[in-house]
Structure 1
Amino acid sequence: MINNLKYFFRGTPDNYSFPIMSTMHLVILLVALLGTLLIIKNKDSFKDSRLDKYFKITVVSVLSVQQISLYLWYAFSGYFTIKESLPLYNCRIAIIFTILAFVTNKNIFKNVSCYWGLIGSIFALLFPSTDPFNFPHYTLLSFFIGHIVMLWASIYLLYVEKYPITKKSLHSILIFTNVYNVLIYKFNIIFSANYGYLNAPPFNVDLLLNMKPFAYTILAASVFNVSMILFYITVKHIYKNSSIEINEINFTYC
């Protein structure tokens, strides 16, 4: 038992790359999709305050345990590096903001959770970039649980709470994202890191690898911005077709 736990939480990498579109990957995507569809289909059931409360408590609990255990593992496994182990990846920040969104009910946290959380979780689940540990390993479990629950939380905010995706919310997230990108780009240069994948692509794609570093950074930053604009357009279109009335409102980001 002890040896199995040591193996599960081992800190020596296996130089393993998670196989995209493998059977395991497809099962994980199916679980994420089914959970998403269940939330959307049963969105009216969450009007029951108890169910709403239980869902939020579950999301906050799971994501909190996932985040705390992740950094404890980094600290005690010997795998910690400033280049990879800080909560500076977009999805890690989005998970923290999702926890705060459900705890505080503040729009500033909900906005990041919806934009970064939904976009980031979809990209991460479709093209997982995991730590180099073969299954079974804690980081694989942590990666997929964190992103799946964050996806469901974002869907909940959009479909159950009907969080308004407005021009003001888009403007706010674009400013937040680009300021963050500038700061993290400089941090990456100083510490030879690659948070946000702003300094190098996460996959070996010849076209991207052959680009000049700054040109790639501009491309990566542009993808961030375009993704959020497309998200805004898509959600507004879905709201309109679903006859969901979302009024432009004045946000109080406090």
Structure 2
Amino acid sequence: MGSLAIDHEFTAYGTSHWIVLGLFAVGVAAVVAVGRTRRSRRFSRWFAAVVLVLEVAIHTYLMLPPRWDVQYSLPLQLSDLAGPVAAYALWSERRWAFALTYYWGLTLSVQALVTPVLRVNFPDLGFLLFWATHLFVVWAAVYLTWGLGLRPDWRGYRMAVLITVLWAVSVFALNLVLGSNYGFLNRKPSTGSVLDLLGDWPWYLVPESAAVLLVWALMTWPWTRRGSRKA
């Protein structure tokens, strides 16, 4: 039997990336279907447990030698926070946790799927954990929204914006102390990303923030129109 020709170094939209995106599409259909069944409650608990285990796994992986580096290994990215929040949303269906999972998962985690900042390739453990953690957060957002029928609203929007701003201010200050770049708040990533289209630092932070606010508002508006709310 032949094997897939996958380079040792990850290449955006190479073979391994397309396989992950195909898996992502299949997973979206699967979680929506399961969410609409009578067994969704039990599935939610298992789903939450898997997401939490994956988060513990990737942070353990990053904090062990020789990968440990204070500039990269601390769980300070929004995607690092999105995992535990998504797990709690799946377990409890609390509104605030759902809102953060919806906005963070369907924008920031999706961005990581489309323009991943990744160097290692399959079958490296770092590759597997990177994709698993991002995929499961997006699947959780899809499952909660289109499977279980939870809906975002303007209160959740405002709360998500406030929490994200507080995170950005705190992490920006910490980056100055550590010389790190968590959240890419203090400089662009070394690999190509969508931020390359938005100008130099710090100016790219302005259109980036405006775009997030606008996109999140557009993601909220259809659900808040009269007749669109869950009965």
Band of TM-score, shorter chain:
0.7 to 0.9
The match for 2:126 among 132, 139, 147 is 139
SS at match of 2:127: helix
Q: How big is the alpha-carbon RMSD for the aligned residues of Structure 1 and Structure 2?
A: 2.7
Q: Percent identity?
A: 20
Show CA shifts across 1:49-98 (max 9, x none): xx213322332222122111222222323211121111111111111101
Give 1:88-237 correspondences, 5 Å limit: 88-130=76-118, 132-202=119-189, 203-204=191-192, 208=196, 211-233=199-221, 235-236=222-223
Query: Would you say the 8 A contact 2:151–2:223 is kept in 1?
Result: no
Give 1:69-88 correspondences, 5 Å limit: 69-88=57-76
Distance 2:138 2:94 in 1: 18
The structure number with the bigger radius of gyration is: 1
The Cα of 1:229 is off from its aligned counterpart by 2.1
The match for 2:230 among 246, 250, 253 is 246
Amino acid at match of 1:71: H
Show CA shifts across 1:193-230 (max 9, x none): 11112222234479849945221233333333233223
Distance 1:83 1:197 in 2: 12
Quote the residue 2:29 is aligned against. Answer: 37
Distance 1:120 1:207 in 2: 12
Distance change in 2, residues 1:24/1:104 (3 Å): same
SS at match of 1:117: helix
Distance 1:26 1:71 in 2: 25
Aligned residues: 223
Distance 2:182 2:45 in 1: 29
Distance change in 2, residues 1:207/1:32 (3 Å): closer
Distance change in 2, residues 1:146/1:209 (3 Å): same
SS at match of 1:214: coil
Distance change in 2, residues 1:166/1:24 (3 Å): same
Amino acid at match of 1:55: F
Query: Would you say the 8 A contact 1:181–1:221 is kept in 2?
Result: no
Distance 1:31 1:216 in 2: 32
Query: Would you say the 8 A contact 1:60–1:103 is kept in 2?
Result: yes
Distance 1:207 1:76 in 2: 30
The Cα of 1:121 is off from its aligned counterpart by 2.2
Quote the residue 2:4 is aligned against. Answer: none
List runs of 5+ in structure 1 lacking aligned partners: 1-15, 248-254
Show CA shifts across 1:138-163 (max 9, x none): 11100111111111111111112222
Query: Would you say the 8 A contact 2:35–2:144 is kept in 1?
Result: no
The match for 2:44 among 51, 56, 60 is 56
TM-score under structure 2 length normalisation? 0.84
TM-score under structure 1 length normalisation? 0.77
Distance 1:78 1:93 in 2: 24
